[in-house]
Structure 1
Amino acid sequence: MTARPQPPHGRLPIAAAAEARRAAGRLIRQDGRAFAAMLALNGLAAAAGLGGPWLLGRIIDDVRAGAGPEHVDRLALGILGFALAHLLLGRFARYTGYRFGERTLARIRERFVERALALPAPVVERAGAGDLMTRGTADVATVGTTLRDAAPEVTVALVQVVFILAAMLAINPLLGLCGTLCLSGIAVAVRWYLRRAHAGYLAEGDAASGLADVLGSTAAGARTVEALGLEERRIAAAAEAIERCRVTRTHTLYLRSVLFPVVEFSYVAPVAAVLLLGGALRGSGAVSVGAVVACALYVWRLAEPLDKVLLWLDQLQRGNASFARVEGVGRIEAPPVTGDARPVDERIDVVGVRYAYQGERDVLHGVDLTVRPGERLAVVGPSGAGKSTLGRLLAGAEAPRTGRVTVGGVPVAELHPDRLRRHVVLVSQEHHVFLGTVRDNLRLAAPDATDQELHAALAAVEVDWADELPDGLDTALGAGGHHLDARQAQQLALARVVLADPHTLILDEATSLLDPATARHTERSLAAVLKGRTVIAIAHRLHTAHDADRVAVMDGGRITELGSHDELLAADGGYAALWRSWHGG
C-alpha cells in the first residue's frame, strides 16, 4: 500500500461539495429540456433491453409446454425487434447526452473565463499562475470529458441497472432479491473507494498545479537561473514537485487496484446464487425453468452496465474534483464596491497607510502623502523600500491594512473598477503582448480609436519600428506572428497608456527596458502628451527625479524626505547621497 498523500494545501479555493452540487444543478436547469429528453430516451432504451431475456424465458417455458416452431419464430422475431429498438434508442440517448454535455461545457468555459478575468490581481499573484492555468486547461478538459463521455454512458448504465433489477423482482421476488443481495460486495467496495477518491484526486490536481508553477517560473526566468547559477536548486524544486505528483498519482492508482478486482469477483457470485436457488425452487415447483433462466440472464446482463458505471467511476471522481477546482475560482469575490461615488477632483491622498503582504510583516509603515492634480512626482529609494507597493496602493491594485487612499475625496475601494481606471492607470515593467494584430493590442485601451490616433500614440512614445512591420497595424503579434522584443513590447504598452488618457499615470519602472537616453526622451515625450495629467514615476534612474516637480524618498517602508530636487540636494540628506552615488561623485 502506498502512503496517503497530504491533503491539498490549495492555492485558489476549492468549492465545497454542497457548492459544487448547487452549481451542477444550475447547469442542468439551464438546459433542462435536453436533460429530461436524455433521461427519457435512456429509460426507453433500458426498457427495450429487458425484452430479450424475458422472451427467451417464455420460449423455454412454451417449448416445454409443447409450443411449435412457428410460435418460437414469432418470439424470436420479438427478441430481434427489442434488440433493434434498444440499439436505436440507446444511440439517440447518447447523442442527446453528448449535445447536452458540449453545451454545458461551453457554459462552464465561458463562466470560468469571466471569473478568471474578474479575479483581483493580488489573488492571482499569490496563488501563482500555474494553479489558474491548470484549472483553466487540465481541469476544464477533465470536466469536458466527464460531461461528453462519462455522464451519458453512466446515465444509460444506471437506468439499465434499475430496470434490470426491477424486471428480476417482477419475474420472481426471491430470485430477484437473491441476485440483488449478492451484489452487495460491489456496494461495499464502491463506498470504500468513494470515501477516498475525491480527496485523492484533489491532491493530484493540486500537485499538478504545483508542478506547473515550478516549471513555468523556471522557464520564464531561465536567463536569471543561468546567470545566478541556480540550476541545481531549480532542478531540485522540479524533482520535489514531480515526486509529489508521483505520490498522489500512485495513491489514486492504488484505490483503483483495490476496487476493480473486488468488482470482478462480485459479478460471478449473483449468477451462481440465482442458479442454485432457482434449482431448489424448481425442485419444489415454485418457479419455472424459464423464470430461472430469465433471472440468471438478467443478473448476467447486469455486468455490462455495472462495468460501464465502474469503469467511468474513476473519470467521474476526476471530473468531480476538477469541477470543484473550477468552481472554486468563483468563491473569490472582488472587493465590494459600496456605491457609485464620483471624485470631486483628481487629488490623491494617502493617510496613515500600513500594508502587509499575506502572512508577512508590514512593508509600509504609516505613509502620508498628497499628490496634487497635474503634479509630476518621482518616488525614489533603495530596493525593498516599498516604492512599488505604494504604487499598487495608489492604483487600487492593493488595499491598505490600515489607513486610507482616496481619489478626489473618495476611497479607492469605493470606486467602481471602470471609473477607477479612467482616473488612475498603473504601468509596470511587466508588459504583455496579446494575440492579435498591432491594432488589436492598441485598441484594448481605446476600442474606437482611429488609425490616425493609433499612429499618433505610437509616435508619442518614440516608436520607430511600426512602419517597418510587414503589414503595418495589421501585423499579427504573438505565437506564430511577428515577435516584439522587450523594448518594443514596453513601447507598445506605453502607447496604450497614451490612448487610455488617464488623469493619473503611475509609472513603475515602466521604461526600465529602454536605454537611459531613450528612456529619458520617452518619459519627456509622455509628459508632453499627458500635459496637465498627474504623473507618479517610481524609478531607480534619478534623472526622472531631476525632471519632477517633487521627489518622495522612501526607505524602510516610510517616506523619509519630500520636496523638489533642488530642495532635497540642499538638505544634504538621503536623497543627496543617492544623487552623488548615482553620479559617481
Structure 2
Amino acid sequence: MIGVAAPQYDPAAPESATTLPVGTPATVRAYIRELLRRHRGAFAILIGTNAVAVIASMVGPYLLGGVVEDLSAGARDLQLGRVAALFATALVVQTVFVRIVRLRGGMLGEEMLADLREDFLVRSVGLPPSVLERAGTGDLLSRITTDVDRLANAMREAVPQLAIGVVWAALLLGALGVTAPPLALAVLVALPVLVTGCRWYFRRAPAAYRSEAAGYAAVASVLTETVDAGRTVEAHRLGARRIALSDRRIREWTAWERYTLFLRSVLFPVVSVTHMTIMVSVLTLGGVFVLKDWITVGELTTGALLAQMLVEPVGLILRWYDELQVAQVSIGRLVGVRDIEPDAGDAGVRPSGRHVEADAVRFGYREGVDVLHEVSLSVAPGTRVALVGPSGAGKSTLGRLLAGIYAPRRGSVTLGAAELSRMPAERVREQVALVNQEHHVFVGSLRDNLLLARTGADDAELWAALGAVDADGWARGLDDGLDTEVGSGGLALTPAQAQQIALARLVLADPHTLVLDEATSLLDPRAARHLERSLARVLDGRTVVAIAHRLHTAHDADVIAVVERGRIAELGSHEELVAAGGAYAALWRSWHG
C-alpha cells in the first residue's frame, strides 16, 4: 500500500497564477504562534475542559476492568449498584464537558478566523499602491473568498479538534502506561505502519495542495478577466482563444485535484490498517502477557478498552492534520502579504513646495522592459498639464509616477524637491490625489461614501461637493437624500453617477495636486464637457495633470505633453503645438475636423 507510485502526470500550476506572494513556512509558523498567544487563555480553557472529559471517559474501562478482575478472583459481592452509579456519574460529567469542549472550540475557531480576516484586510489596505495595482483581480478574489472559505472549516474545527485529539491521545497513552505498561508497548507495534504512511503522504501533500490552490486562482483569474472584458472579447472574436485558455487552466487545476485525491486514497487505508493492528496486537500480546502472569485479566480488559478508545483521537488527529494541509496553503496565501515590506517611507522627508518634477525617469512593469524612457517634465504650481498621445504610449504610467503610485527604476519624481518614493504613503495622499476610470461604490449610505474623503465634513459641505461635480440634481431626487443606501443591496448607481461620487470625494479631499486619468470617461461628451468646466472652477489654483483622449481637455490646458512610445515627443501650449505642425497638430486636425 505504502509503495504505490504517484500518477505519471505531473501537473504544473502556472507560475503566473499569483501576483501577491505566498507566505513562507516561517511566516505561517510565526503567524500561528501569534494567534496562539492572542488566544492562549481560550486554549488553556479548551485543553482543561477536554482533559476533564477524557478522564471521565476512562472511568468506564477502569470500572469494567475491576469487575472482570473481581470475577476472575471468584468474588461474589460485585457491588454492581455502586459501579453503575459511578459509571452514570462519569457519563454525565463526560457529556457536560464534551458539550463545553465543542462550544469553546467553536468560539475559539470563530475568534481566530475573525482575527485572520481582519489582519488580512488591514495588511492589504496598508500595502504600497503599486503592489495593489499590479495584483491580479482573480488572485485577490480567490484569496478573500476561496481561501477564507477553506480556512473557515479549519479554524472553526481543525485547530480546536487537533488540540483536543492530541490531549485525548496523550492522556489515553498515559493511562495505558500506568494501568498495564506491557500493553503500552503492544500499541507501538502499529507505529511503523502509521509513521511510514504519514511520512509518504505529508512529503507530497503540502506542495500538491499549494499547486491546487494556485491552479484555482488561475482559473478564477481567467474567468474574471474574460467576463470583465466580455465586449472586447466579442469585438475581437477572441472567444475561442479565451475558452481554450480557460479549458487549459481548468485541466491543470483538476489534475492537481485528482492528484491530491490519490494521496488521500493511500493515507486513509493506512489509517484503517493502523487501527486494526493496534487491536490485534493488544489482544494477542495481552493474552500472552496474561498467560505469563505479567498482567491480570482485569488489566487486559481495561487496557484493551483504552486501546480501542485510541482509535478515535488518532483518527481525529490525522483527519484534521490533513485538513490543515489545505488550510496551511490558504493561510500562506492570506499572510503572504506580510512578506511585502510596508511602504513606510521616511517620516523626515517633507515637500518644501508644490513644484512637481520628473527627471530622466525610466520605468517598466517587467524587468528589462521599460515603458518610459528618459522622461523629464516640470509642472509649476497651479499649472494644468494635459498628457495626450496614442493608447499604450505611457500616459497613464507617467500619471501614476507623478501621483506617487509607482517609483521610477531610474531618475526621480519629486514634489517640492522631495522624492515621492521616499515619502510616507499617507503624506503623499495628502498632497497628491489620483482619480482614474475605475470607481467603487461602497455598501452603505451616500453620506458614508462621501465621508471616506473627509470624515469631519458636514452635510452642507457634502452637498457643495456634489454640486461641484453636477451630482446634486439626481442626489436631491433620492428618497432619503444623503441617507440613501447605495451599492450592493441598495440603490444601483449608474457608472456615470459612481464617477461623480469619486470626483466629489476628490473635492472633499482637497489635495493641491491632482492626476486625472480619464476621470470623466464614463460620461457622454456633452456632460463630460460641462462637468470639466464646473470642476475647472473648483480646481482653480491647483496643479492638475489630466490624461485624456478628448482633446478639448488638452485645448483648455496650460501645457500639453505629447507622449509617444514612452517619451515626451512635444511640449507646449495648444497654439504652439498646432502652429508647429507636429504630432499634436495632426491629432487636433483629425479630432476637430
Q: TM-score, normalized by length of structure 1?
A: 0.96
Q: Counterpart amino acid of 2:494? A: D
The CA distance in 2 between the partners of 1:92 and 1:54, in whole Å, is 24
The CA distance in 2 between the partners of 1:8 and 1:143, in whole Å, is 23
How far does residue 97 in structure 1 lie from its aligned partner after superposition? 2.2
| Deviation sequence 1:136-176 (CA, Å, 0-9, x none) | 22222322321211222222222221122222222222222
Q: Which residue of 1 aligns with 2:264?
A: 256
Q: Secondary structure at the match of 2:433?
A: strand
The CA distance in 2 between the partners of 1:417 and 1:175, in whole Å, is 65
Q: Secondary structure at the match of 2:367?
A: coil
Say if 1:20 and 1:323, in contact at 8 Å, map to a contact too. Answer: yes
The CA distance in 1 between the partners of 2:274 and 2:40, in whole Å, is 36
1:85-124 alignment runs, 5 A limit: 85-124=93-132
**Does structure 1 residue 555 correspond to structure 2 residue 564?**
yes
**Does structure 1 residue 436 correspond to structure 2 residue 444?**
yes
| 1:469 pairs with one of 463, 478, 487 | 478
C-alpha change, 1:81 and 1:174, in structure 2 (3 Å) is same
**Does structure 1 residue 41 correspond to structure 2 residue 49?**
yes
Say if 1:395 and 1:506, in contact at 8 Å, map to a contact too. Answer: yes
**Does structure 1 residue 581 correspond to structure 2 residue 590?**
yes
Say if 2:345 and 2:424, in contact at 8 Å, map to a contact too. Answer: yes
| Deviation sequence 1:337-370 (CA, Å, 0-9, x none) | 0223221111001111000112351111111111
**Does structure 1 residue 374 correspond to structure 2 residue 377?**
no
Q: Counterpart amino acid of 1:335? A: D
How far does residue 542 in structure 1 lie from its aligned partner after superposition? 1.4
**Does structure 1 residue 6 correspond to structure 2 residue 6?**
no
Q: Secondary structure at the match of 2:79?
A: helix
Q: Which residue of 1 aligns with 2:395?
A: 387
Aligned residues: 584
Gaps of 5+ in 2: 1-5
Q: Counterpart amino acid of 1:437? A: S
C-alpha change, 1:207 and 1:7, in structure 2 (3 Å) is closer
| Deviation sequence 1:472-509 (CA, Å, 0-9, x none) | 22222112222222222222211221111111111111
How far does residue 69 in structure 1 lie from its aligned partner after superposition? 4.1
Q: Which residue of 1 aligns with 2:357?
A: 349
How far does residue 131 in structure 1 lie from its aligned partner after superposition? 1.3
**Does structure 1 residue 534 correspond to structure 2 residue 543?**
yes
| 2:222 pairs with one of 214, 218, 221 | 214
1:402-413 alignment runs, 5 A limit: 402-413=410-421
The CA distance in 2 between the partners of 1:433 and 1:469, in whole Å, is 16
Say if 2:356 and 2:380, in contact at 8 Å, map to a contact too. Answer: yes
How far does residue 527 in structure 1 lie from its aligned partner after superposition? 1.2
Say if 2:13 and 2:214, in contact at 8 Å, map to a contact too. Answer: no
How far does residue 528 in structure 1 lie from its aligned partner after superposition? 1.0
Q: Secondary structure at the match of 1:561?
A: strand
| 1:202 pairs with one of 194, 210, 233 | 210
| 1:484 pairs with one of 483, 487, 493 | 493
The CA distance in 2 between the partners of 1:191 and 1:81, in whole Å, is 42
Say if 1:134 and 1:209, in contact at 8 Å, map to a contact too. Answer: yes
**Does structure 1 residue 543 correspond to structure 2 residue 552?**
yes
**Does structure 1 residue 511 correspond to structure 2 residue 517?**
no
Q: CA RMSD in A?
A: 1.8
Q: Which residue of 2 aligns with 1:522?
A: 531
How far does residue 411 in structure 1 lie from its aligned partner after superposition? 0.5
The CA distance in 1 between the partners of 2:227 and 2:484, in whole Å, is 27
Say if 2:344 and 2:425, in contact at 8 Å, map to a contact too. Answer: no
The CA distance in 2 between the partners of 1:477 and 1:519, in whole Å, is 23
Q: Which residue of 2 aligns with 1:157?
A: 165
1:261-300 alignment runs, 5 A limit: 261-300=269-308
How far does residue 307 in structure 1 lie from its aligned partner after superposition? 2.1
Q: Which residue of 2 aligns with 1:445?
A: 453
How far does residue 397 in structure 1 lie from its aligned partner after superposition? 0.7
Say if 2:364 and 2:372, in contact at 8 Å, map to a contact too. Answer: yes
How far does residue 237 in structure 1 lie from its aligned partner after superposition? 2.1
How far does residue 43 in structure 1 lie from its aligned partner after superposition? 2.0
Gaps of 5+ in 1: none
Q: Which residue of 1 aligns with 2:366?
A: 358
Query: Identity percentage over the alignment?
Result: 47
How far does residue 70 in structure 1 lie from its aligned partner after superposition? 4.4
| Deviation sequence 1:325-348 (CA, Å, 0-9, x none) | 111122122334022322111100
How far does residue 371 in structure 1 lie from its aligned partner after superposition? 0.2
The CA distance in 2 between the partners of 1:511 and 1:553, in whole Å, is 20
| 2:429 pairs with one of 406, 421, 427 | 421
| Deviation sequence 1:61-92 (CA, Å, 0-9, x none) | 11121223442432333333333322222222
C-alpha change, 1:582 and 1:433, in structure 2 (3 Å) is same
| Deviation sequence 1:184-207 (CA, Å, 0-9, x none) | 312221222212221121112112
The CA distance in 2 between the partners of 1:462 and 1:322, in whole Å, is 45
How far does residue 387 in structure 1 lie from its aligned partner after superposition? 0.7
Say if 1:271 and 1:299, in contact at 8 Å, map to a contact too. Answer: yes
Say if 1:340 and 1:414, in contact at 8 Å, map to a contact too. Answer: no
Q: Secondary structure at the match of 1:301?
A: helix
The CA distance in 2 between the partners of 1:380 and 1:285, in whole Å, is 97
How far does residue 376 in structure 1 lie from its aligned partner after superposition? 1.0
Q: Counterpart amino acid of 2:516? A: L
